[in-house]
Amino acid sequence: MKHPPSIYLVGDSISIQYHPFLEVLLREGYVYRRKGGLDVANRNLDAAQGANGGDSEKVLEHLREELQAGLPESAVAVNCGLHDIKRNPDTGEIQVPPDRYRANLLEIAALLRYAGKRLIWITTTPLDETRHLRCNSAFHRREADLAEYNRISKEVMRDSGVSIIDLYDFTATLPGELYKDHVHFHPAISRAQAGFLRREFDRILRTGTPPLHTFPGDSITDASRDRGDPA
């Protein structure tokens, strides 16, 4: 009997928001687990704690620990970038410089390849720099940095033969108001992201197999009109 694809997810606070929707959508056809500590992470979505994977340094460290502990999943879906591009509001210093970000991603790809795991890279979602500056004084983020780090990640992953899910481009096409604060999304947007991820997992891990569902509520139209909380 063929086992269903198994996925382990490590991501930032955006992944924490779409997780409840994604968990439901993956119940049929997948074995799914994400980095633990949701209660801790939800206390402050801006902090790299609990289920929040944080920057590329922390993600790399976490994956080393998981692999050493015998991570059972065959595929690992990873995102990091929003924490890497945090800038000190006084000095302008970026948390993880571009060359170090590139090196960390190369090491993540090599680490998982050596362990026999399939890496799936998820691009970092959009931000509104003006709104971010207005709403958050603890640290700054720049749209230009986000674009550069997404470019770096795509280049690294393509050169490493890694499948890419472009969550940035998908999210940027959604109509209506995206953000509920400086960078996090309304529930309907998170639900649409989860539907997109399920379809992309089908594409990558179930090649030649049509999606098992048409997922209610994950279309662009539904996302624009529905601002409800998760069921």
Domain assignment present for 137: yes
Q: How many domains does the chain have?
A: 1
Range of the domain at 170: 6-225
Domain assignment present for 230: no
**Please, which residues have CB within 8 angstroms of residue 139's CB and are 6 or more apart in sequence?**
46, 86, 87, 88, 89, 95
Half-sphere exposure of 76 (CA within 13 A, CB side): 26
pLDDT at 221: 42
pLDDT, greater one: 212 or 123: 123
- Residue 203: give its domain's CATH number: 3.40.50.1110
Encode pLDDT of 172-215 as tens digits: 999 999 999 989 999 999 999 999 999 999 999 987 444 333 33
Domain assignment present for 11: yes
Question: Please, what sign has the CA dihedral across residues 224, 228, 229, 231?
Answer: negative
**Mean pLDDT over the full length of the chain:** 90
How many Å apart are CA 86 and CA 226, to the nearest integer? Answer: 31
pLDDT at 188: 97
pLDDT, greater one: 161 or 209: 161
Domain assignment present for 128: yes
Domain assignment present for 149: yes
Q: Count H helices, E strands: the chain?
A: 9, 5
**Mean pLDDT of all residues in 153-177:** 97
> What would the DSSP string read from start to end of 67-120?
HHTT---SEEEE---TTTT-B-TTT--BSS-HHHHHHHHHHHHHHHHHTTPEEE
Three-state SS at 165: strand
Half-sphere exposure of 108 (CA within 13 A, CB side): 28
* pTM (2 d.p.): 0.89
pLDDT range class, residue 147, cuts 50, 70, 90: very high
pLDDT range class, residue 135, cuts 50, 70, 90: confident
Task: Identify the top-confidence range among 126-140, 174-188, 212-226.
Answer: 174-188
Question: What amino acid is encoded at 122 in this protein?
Answer: I
Encode pLDDT of 85-120 as tens digits: 999 999 999 999 999 999 999 999 999 999 999 999
Encode pLDDT of 57-70 as tens digits: 999 999 999 999 99
Domain assignment present for 171: yes
Number of CB atoms found within 10 A of residue 129's CB: 17
pLDDT, greater one: 220 or 20: 20
pLDDT at 1: 60
Which H/E stretch holds residue 189? helix 187-205
Nearest Cα to 12, choosing from 87, 75, 86, 70?
86
Domain assignment present for 231: no
Using a 10 angstrom Cβ sphere, with 0-12 exposed, 13-18 middle and 19 or more buried, the burial of residue 231 is: exposed
Domain assignment present for 1: no
